[in-house]
């Protein structure tokens, strides 16, 4: 596979010049040997986010050989590293500039800890886990669940089955921390809402009052709630709740699944 095929496969054809902007060999070595220093050095660049996009494109391209060695299909490879495109687009939409700023997140992809399997992303945990997860059943292997932008939530069960097969688990406890598990969102969403159906799969074990829901629903976070655009029934209801002074939490939840 050449660079053009890689960039096309992950939806980053417009970033060929970015890929070619750095000779990344030393940066890639530093990424694996001293990640903190890698980030520190990157922050010193004239345009750090542009630099990080270039290096992560190089790192993602190199990962194809590892996928081949492990007999992981190209479909999973391209789907997984398409996340670079998602976050590059997010960065451009919010800053008008080319780059990525989700450094710790994309590190998981390069380190082969996170894979997109069907509609959802699955991450192997590193230990120790936060105390909140002590409330989840620990008889099974743990897998973290993430929902990428544009995922079809009504196909979630297919992804859970896919994950069990991919990781060769007979059973697993899937862990998730997300605004999609917000009790407040659940209570105000329409009964036909796909978010409501998805969140009902999980057993809620905690919540955190943050502003993740605002960022995901409205595209940004503002102290002026009136500035939030209404583009759907959910955004209208959430905006009304915020204007009433209500808080929207993110939920911690788990679900267990067994291979058939």
Tell me the three-class secondary structure of 150-207, residue by residue: CCCHHHHHHHHHHHHHHCCCCEEEEEEEEHHHCHHHHHHCCCCCHHHHHHCCCEEEEE
One domain, residues 257 and 135: yes
Q: Is the pLDDT of residue 69 over 80?
A: yes
| pLDDT confidence bin for 75, thresholds 50/70/90 | very high
Q: Is the pLDDT of residue 100 over 80?
A: yes
- Tens digits of residue pLDDT in 117-146: 999 999 999 888 999 999 998 889 999 999
pTM of the predicted protein model: 0.93
State which residues form the domain around 97. 1-103
Residue 108 CA to residue 64 CA, distance in Å, equals 15
For position 19, what pLDDT does the model report?
96
Sequence-distant (6+) residues with CB within 8 A of 86 are 148, 149, 150
- The domain tally of the chain equals 2
For position 234, what pLDDT does the model report?
94
The reply to whether 166 falls in a domain is yes
Q: Is the pLDDT of residue 89 over 90?
A: yes
One domain, residues 122 and 94: no
One domain, residues 46 and 121: no
Other beta carbons less than 10 A from residue 16's beta carbon:
14
């Amino acid at each position: 596979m050449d660079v053009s095929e890689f960039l096309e496969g992950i939806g980053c054809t417009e970033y060929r010049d970015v890929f070619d902007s750095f000779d990344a060999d030393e940066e890639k070595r530093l990424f694996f040997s001293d990640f903190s220093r890698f980030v520190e050095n990157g922050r010193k660049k004239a345009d750090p986010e542009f630099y990080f996009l270039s290096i992560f494109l190089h790192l993602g391209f190199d990962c194809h050989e590892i996928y081949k060695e492990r007999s992981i299909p190209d479909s999973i490879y391209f789907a997984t590293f398409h996340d670079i495109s998602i976050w590059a687009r997010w960065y451009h939409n919010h800053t008008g500039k080319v780059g990525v700023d989700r450094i710790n997140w994309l590190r998981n992809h390069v380190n082969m800890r996170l894979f997109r399997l069907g509609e959802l992303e699955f991450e192997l945990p590193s230990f120790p886990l936060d105390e909140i997860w002590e409330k989840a059943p620990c008889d099974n292997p743990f897998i973290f669940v993430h929902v990428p932008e544009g995922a079809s939530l009504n196909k979630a069960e297919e992804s859970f089955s896919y994950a069990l097969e991919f990781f060769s688990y007979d059973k697993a406890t899937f862990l998730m921390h997300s605004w999609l598990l917000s009790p407040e969102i659940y209570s105000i969403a329409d009964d036909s809402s796909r978010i409501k159906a998805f969140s009902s799969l999980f057993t809620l074990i905690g919540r955190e009052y943050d502003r993740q829901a605002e960022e995901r629903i409205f595209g940004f976070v503002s102290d002026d709630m009136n500035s939030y655009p209404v583009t759907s029934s959910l955004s209208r209801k959430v905006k009304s709740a915020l204007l009433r002074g209500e808080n929207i939490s993110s939920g911690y939840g788990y679900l267990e699944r067994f291979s058939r």
